[in-house]
Structure formats: structure tokens, C-alpha cells
């Protein structure tokens, strides 16, 4: 589990307005979000009923600007 140590910026009434994270914690959040995007893309691809094609063919089609 990601361990964060947020600090909050507040207004005059002490209502939280913003969050400050250490740079290394923020970078970890970004990495985790990118991984989550990859997982979602994988799940979407698995749910797509299209026929699978060989990797080499996919790379060739991408380079040629074609989409199956």
C-alpha cells in the first residue's frame, strides 16, 4: 500500500484548499496511476471480441499506419 504524508494548505477559516506531497511520494502516485491506466487498457483489450493477431503483424500495421 502506498504510504503518503500529505500536508494541507488551508484558507482563513482553516478549510483545506490544497494538498502538498513530497516529490518522491508524488512520483509514486504518478507511477501507480500509469500502472492503473495500463491495467484498464489491458482489461478493455481483453473484453474486445476482436481476433488476436501475431505481435509482428501488429507492429507492422502500426508502422504502416493501419489499424485492424
In tens digits, the chain (68 residues) has pLDDT values of: 789 999 999 999 999 999 999 999 999 999 999 999 999 998 988 888 878 889 999 899 889 887 65
What does the chain come to in residues? 68
Distance CA 57, CA 41 (A): 20
E strand or H helix at 41? helix 23-47
Q: Name the pTM for this structure.
A: 0.63
Tell me which DSSP letter residue 17 carries.
E
Separation of first and last alpha carbons in the chain: 39
Q: What cell was used for 67? A: 489499424
The DSSP output letter for 48 is S
Amino acid at each position: 500500500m502506498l504510504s503518503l504524508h500529505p500536508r494541507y494548505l488551508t484558507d482563513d477559516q482553516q478549510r483545506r484548499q490544497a494538498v502538498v506531497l513530497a516529490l518522491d511520494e508524488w512520483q509514486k502516485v504518478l507511477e501507480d496511476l500509469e500502472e492503473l491506466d495500463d491495467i484498464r487498457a489491458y482489461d478493455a483489450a481483453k473484453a474486445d471480441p476482436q481476433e488476436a493477431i501475431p505481435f509482428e503483424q501488429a507492429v507492422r500495421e502500426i508502422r504502416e499506419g493501419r489499424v485492424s
